[in-house]
């Protein structure tokens, strides 16, 4: 059993729904953690109130004004054997968050430094050129080994800076768009936690009222007819964006029937047609 793995916006919504359903108003641990090479001793002393982010320049860590500065960046292709898997991008320059996104669009990750030899390689290759990388060693991972392909940081700047904060929480205390956002915390702190089975199995039910015009000879309460209707409705809804895995079923009323004849309503001298409905 693993802590919650969040792989897309639907998982974010499911986790939020669990929090709302159980009246959770707290920060909760999820399964995202940082499997780092500890560059903290080299990085932490670089930060000052004026210079709060780090990049690599001339083969060394260097402090810069902020992660919004525009510069070249390095992506890593894990399946590439040459050049340590590095792909250097000089045009267009990007801030740190955008560099991370651009690497992901190319099915890569913003490069992490696994050892000093890789930092030296960039220094020898680039010389006096500042480049964005991910200073967190091997980067973020899910506890169940799921590949990190989706991020939902409440503040990208924080997770970039705080090398001592290597585990992630989901904010269930926030409201509006902030609810469900990720924040980094020290792994030794104590918070409630959510496991995969606790929220992946959360279901949401919605009743939809249906009115049907049918031939008078059709037994609308026949199970075969109802199943055929349900299949047609689901097919039409899927064509209009119904997510995979959604289950449809008829809800029986107190007498055990799904449909009842609708009473005729008169408008002027003409009576409306009778309809079966549930």
- Report d(CA 100, CA 73) in Å as an integer: 9
Domain boundary among the residues 200, 224, 243 is at 200
Residue 28 lies in a domain: yes
Same domain as 162, residue 37? yes
Domain boundary among the residues 148, 176, 200 is at 200
The pLDDT, as a whole number, for residue 229 is: 86
SS3 17: helix
Q: Are 42 and 48 in contact (CB under 8 A)?
A: no
The pLDDT, as a whole number, for residue 271 is: 44
Q: Which of 61-65, 117-121, 269-273 has the lowest mean pLDDT?
A: 269-273
Domain boundary among the residues 200, 224, 241 is at 200
Region class of 241: left (phi > 0), else alpha (psi between -120 and 50), else beta: left
Range of the domain at 173: 9-200
Burial classification of residue 242, based on how many CB atoms lie within 10 Å of its CB (0-12 exposed, 13-18 middle, 19 or more buried): middle
Residue 205 lies in a domain: no
Structural domain count of the chain: 2
Torsion of CA 137, 140, 142, 146, to 10 degrees: -90
Q: What is the mean pLDDT of the chain?
A: 77
The pLDDT, as a whole number, for residue 196 is: 80
pLDDT digit string (tens) for 200-240? Answer: 654 555 677 778 777 767 788 888 888 888 888 888 887 87
Q: Please determine, for residue 160, whether its predicted confidence score (pLDDT) is greater than 80.
A: no
Q: Which of 66-70, 97-101, 112-116 has the lowest mean pLDDT?
A: 112-116
- Report d(CA 204, CA 181) in Å as an integer: 21
CA-to-CA separations, 237 to 29, 208, 240, in angstroms, rounded:
36, 12, 5
Q: Are 63 and 47 in contact (CB under 8 A)?
A: yes
Same domain as 149, residue 241? no
The dihedral through the CA atoms of 69, 111, 143, 15 has a sign that is positive
What is the percent of the chain with per-residue pLDDT over 70, rounded to a whole number?
A: 75
Q: Please determine, for residue 171, whether its predicted confidence score (pLDDT) is greater than 70.
A: yes
Highest mean pLDDT among 36-45, 51-60, 65-74: 65-74
Residue 2 lies in a domain: no
- Report d(CA 115, CA 79) in Å as an integer: 18
Residue 1 lies in a domain: no
91 token code pair: 């045009």
Instruction: Work out the number of other CB atoms within 10 angstroms of the CB of residue 132.
Output: 31
Higher pLDDT, 36 or 61: 61
Same domain as 157, residue 222? no
Please give the average per-residue pLDDT across 194-201, as a whole number. 72
Q: Please determine, for residue 140, whether its predicted confidence score (pLDDT) is greater than 70.
A: yes
- Provide the pLDDT confidence category of residue 161 given band limits of 50, 70 and 90: very low
Residue 74 lies in a domain: yes
- Provide the pLDDT confidence category of residue 255 given band limits of 50, 70 and 90: confident
**φ, ψ for residue 3, nearest 5 deg:** -65, 160
Same domain as 129, residue 253? no
Q: Please determine, for residue 64, whether its predicted confidence score (pLDDT) is greater than 80.
A: no
The pLDDT, as a whole number, for residue 42 is: 59
Same domain as 179, residue 228? no
Q: Please determine, for residue 37, whether its predicted confidence score (pLDDT) is greater than 70.
A: no
Q: Please determine, for residue 131, whether its predicted confidence score (pLDDT) is greater than 60.
A: yes
Highest mean pLDDT among 42-51, 164-173, 255-264, 266-275: 164-173
Same domain as 249, residue 128? no
Q: Please determine, for residue 276, whether its predicted confidence score (pLDDT) is greater than 50.
A: no
Residues 6+ apart with CB under 8 A from 268: none
Please give the average per-residue pLDDT across 178-206, as a whole number. 78
- Report d(CA 259, CA 211) in Å as an integer: 9
The pLDDT, as a whole number, for residue 30 is: 93
- Report d(CA 24, CA 193) in Å as an integer: 11
Residue 22 lies in a domain: yes
The pLDDT, as a whole number, for residue 179 is: 86
């Amino acid at each position: 059993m693993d802590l919650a793995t969040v792989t897309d916006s639907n998982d974010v919504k499911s986790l939020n729904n669990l929090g709302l359903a159980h009246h959770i108003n707290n920060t909760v641990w999820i399964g995202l953690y940082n499997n780092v090479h500890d560059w903290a001793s080299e990085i932490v002393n670089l930060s000052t109130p004026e210079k709060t982010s780090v990049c690599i320049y001339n083969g060394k860590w260097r402090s810069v004004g902020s992660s919004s500065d525009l510069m070249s960046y390095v992506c890593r292709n894990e399946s590439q054997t040459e050049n340590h898997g590095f792909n250097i991008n000089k045009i267009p320059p990007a801030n740190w968050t955008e560099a991370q996104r651009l690497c992901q669009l190319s099915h890569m990750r913003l490069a992490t430094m696994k050892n000093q030899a890789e930092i030296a390689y960039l220094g020898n290759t680039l010389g006096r050129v500042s480049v964005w990388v991910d200073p967190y060693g091997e980067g973020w991972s899910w506890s169940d080994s799921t590949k990190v392909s989706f991020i939902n940081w409440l503040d990208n700047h924080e997770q970039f800076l705080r090398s001592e904060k290597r585990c992630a929480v989901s904010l269930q205390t926030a409201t509006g768009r902030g609810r469900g956002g990720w924040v980094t915390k020290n792994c030794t702190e104590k918070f409630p936690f959510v496991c995969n089975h606790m929220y992946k199995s959360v279901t949401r039910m919605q009743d939809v009222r249906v009115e049907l015009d049918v031939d008078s000879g059709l037994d609308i309460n026949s199970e075969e007819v109802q199943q055929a209707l349900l299949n047609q409705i689901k097919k039409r809804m899927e064509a209009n964006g119904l997510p995979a895995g959604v289950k449809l079923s008829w809800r029986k009323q107190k007498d055990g029937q799904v449909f009842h004849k609708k009473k005729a309503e008169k408008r002027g001298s003409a009576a409306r047609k009778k309809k079966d409905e549930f």
